Amino acid sequence: MSRRPKVTTGVVSAFDAEIGLGQVTADDGSVVGFHCTQIADGSRQIAVGTRVGFGIIAGRGGQWEAGAIEPR
């Protein structure tokens, strides 16, 4: 039996397309970073202010990151 990760919702609060890094502010106020490869549709671009659903994944350097980011 596989467990699906909990989906959190929030808003893209920052995104730099040139370096491919951004931040999502979750509805609970927490802020997590993400890499553009975590945008689920494969586009590698997302606008600031986009409402999204995402999971929390272990990232590089031992920090938590947003993963499987999908516009809502």
Angle at 70 between CA 51 and CA 24, to 5 degrees: 50
pLDDT above 80 (res 8): yes
Tokens of 9: 């919702």
Amino acid making up residue 12: V
pLDDT above 50 (res 1): no
Mean pLDDT of 1-21: 85
Mean pLDDT of 3-7: 66
Three-state secondary structure readout of 29-68: CCEEEEEHHHECCCCCCCCCCCEEEEEEEECHHHCEEEEE
pTM, entire model: 0.88
Tokens of 46: 């997302």
Amino acid making up residue 58: A
pLDDT (tens digit per residue) in 13-67: 999 999 999 999 999 999 999 999 999 999 999 999 999 999 999 988 888 999 9
Domains and CATH numbers, the chain: 8-71 (2.40.50.140)
